Amino acid sequence: MSSTEQSPAAHVPEAKRLLLKSVLSYADANVSASLDRLFQLLRIPSVSCDPRYAPQCQEAASWLTYELGSIGFDASVRQTTGHPVVVAHQKQAIGPHVLFYGHYDVQPVEPLEKWDADPFDPRLKVQPSGDSQIIARGASDDKGQLLTFVEACRAWKTVTGGLPISVSMFFEGEEESGSPSMDKFLDQAGDELHADLMLLCDTYLWNDAVPAVTVMFRGLLEEEIEITCANRDLHSGAYGNAARNPIQVLAELIASLRSKSGAVAIEGFYDDVTEPDEELKSELKKLRFDADMFLQNVGLSQAAGDEAYSVLEQVWTRPSCQINGIAGGYYGDGLKTIIPSKAVAKVSFRLVAGQDPEKIQAKFHEHIRARMPVDCTVKFTGLGGSKASVIPSNSQYLRRARAALKDEWNCESVLIGSGGSIPIVSVMQSRLSIDSLPIGFARSDNRHHSPNEKYDLSSFHKGIRSWIRILAELSGGESNKSEL
């Protein structure tokens, strides 16, 4: 072979580059058709928390199953004790096997009068920038994001006849109502969902021009605490001073949960906290997070968490204790002069790596019981819990996904945390030993759970293109070509 002649292997990267270019071009040319399909899904009012919408949840699951079947997936609707799930597979002989997770259910639309139009009649609203907003309930959370991946697979299948790696999909219909059927379903079908990696798209961009991979989610522990003093409501004139007031007792107990410095004051609360690794700490420092603006956007000026940590650390890497609601006594019009018999509070803890919800629950109960006055009783009701999850910063899949994002967005992606919780991430990590890559294309102003929820058309389009590249990169494909 002459020195100028290339071996057949030398043509492989170029062939893969051209193939990827063709898939991306198809997605660009057919974004209107992708949008039409999204509008079809958005018109289905799949509100999971309201039993009246159970048929519509079934309809959404059936719609997704049909669409996945139309592009060659072995897809089926699986019934659960609640709303159905959709499971689909398309296996390849080579490459890793990924499981893509999403949810087709949506939040209720109330208050309906705050919407500019019917929340289940999706519309495009052109912006001064030239971009358009897709406005409908579920546009961003999570139907629009979910379909970015489905449409990426459609592009691969249409152009090449197959997918570059093995792909399974798992769409649930109860994410917005706490996933009550998830445990039983995984007991039955968990083995079928085994994969090398789980992908999901229920997260955010860092800003409009910079993609992000969310590598930390805080866990969650939810508790209700009920304090009872007298055996009935009392006349505040006849029993005032002499009888304990459960609202005051509850207020004092709540005050004892936080120190003056803002730290959680429950004994042993921080014992098992695992600090982020140095590489992740370094990534977080690069973000140039504007703490003042973060607080000013909600009418605040001073952080209330542990003074030893920055605002970003407080909401991403440190555990917290929050009071979510208090009820007791009379709170109607006018005044009813009673000393109530009972008072109730809803308390939630956001947990970080290393913390066990059951251990924190026990410490919380012990803290409260140790401070209960004579003649008062306490009742605890657990409302659920999940562990925190952290994606290893040295993951080869993370490295490949970030390379693909850089190619599409022409900038480095960032690693971010989430102060919230996506329980499926920790569930799959603990039950099936599957790590996740949460890569979302929502913007911070998408109004999730609020009236006039929106998803930017550019985000939808770029999301499809990004997943096309990520699938190629996970297969070992050559995608580092800026002209694509």
| CA separation for the pair 376, 229 (Å, rounded) | 5
Question: Is it the case that residue 174 has pLDDT exceeding 50?
Answer: yes
From residue 274, alpha-carbon distances to 200, 388, 389, 395 in Å are 25, 11, 11, 19
Find the mean pLDDT for residues 259-263: 95
| CA separation for the pair 412, 107 (Å, rounded) | 33
Find the mean pLDDT for residues 49-60: 97
Buried b (16+ CB within 10 A) or exposed e, 413-433: bbbbbbeebbbbbbbbbeeee
| CA separation for the pair 135, 35 (Å, rounded) | 12
In a 3-state reduction of DSSP, which class is residue 294? helix
227-239 tens-digit pLDDT = 999 999 999 999 9
User: Who's near 272: CB < 8 A, 6+ residues apart?
Assistant: 354, 355, 356, 359
Determine the pLDDT at residue 479: 40
Q: Give the DSSP per-residue string, 226-251.
A: EEE-SSS-EEHHHHTTTS--HHHHHH
Question: Is it the case that residue 65 has pLDDT exceeding 80?
Answer: yes
Question: Is it the case that residue 15 has pLDDT exceeding 50?
Answer: yes
| CA separation for the pair 401, 203 (Å, rounded) | 15
Instruction: Give 294's Cβ-side CA count (13 Å radius).
Output: 11
Determine the residue type at 440: G
Find the mean pLDDT for residues 373-387: 93
Question: Is it the case that residue 5 has pLDDT exceeding 70?
Answer: no
- Its pTM stands at 0.85
Determine the pLDDT at residue 9: 44
CATH 3.40.630.10 maps onto the chain at 8-209+392-410+418-474
Find the mean pLDDT for residues 223-230: 97
Question: Is it the case that residue 153 has pLDDT exceeding 50?
Answer: yes
User: Who's near 247: CB < 8 A, 6+ residues apart?
Assistant: 326, 328, 329, 340, 343
Determine the pLDDT at residue 7: 44
Question: For residue 273, what is the DSSP state?
Answer: P
Q: Give the DSSP per-residue string, 317-364.
A: TS-EEEEEEEEES--SSS---EE-SEEEEEEEEEE-TT--HHHHHHHH
Q: Where in 388-439 does DSSP place strands (E)?
A: 389-390, 414-418, 436-438
Determine the pLDDT at residue 384: 85
304-345 tens-digit pLDDT = 999 999 999 999 999 999 999 999 999 899 999 999 999 999
Determine the pLDDT at residue 61: 98
Question: Is it the case that residue 193 has pLDDT exceeding 80?
Answer: yes
Determine the residue type at 275: E
Query: Could you name the CATH architecture of 8-209+392-410+418-474?
Result: 3-Layer(aba) Sandwich (3.40)
Determine the pLDDT at residue 1: 47
pLDDT band at residue 12 using 50, 70 and 90 as cut-offs:
low
CATH 3.30.70.360 maps onto the chain at 219-273+319-386
**Contact predicate 104/116, CB 8 Å:** no
Q: Closest Cα to residue 150, out of 92, 102, 212?
A: 102
Determine the pLDDT at residue 4: 47
Q: Between 383 and 8, where is the model more confident?
A: 383
In a 3-state reduction of DSSP, which class is residue 147? helix
Determine the residue type at 248: Q
| Range from 31-40, 189-198, 424-433 that averages highest in pLDDT | 31-40
pLDDT band at residue 142 using 50, 70 and 90 as cut-offs:
very high
| CA separation for the pair 386, 250 (Å, rounded) | 26
Query: Could you name the CATH architecture of 219-273+319-386?
Result: 2-Layer Sandwich (3.30)
Determine the pLDDT at residue 22: 98
Determine the pLDDT at residue 393: 80
Question: Is it the case that residue 425 has pLDDT exceeding 80?
Answer: yes
User: Who's near 89: CB < 8 A, 6+ residues apart?
Assistant: 73, 74, 75, 166, 167, 168, 169
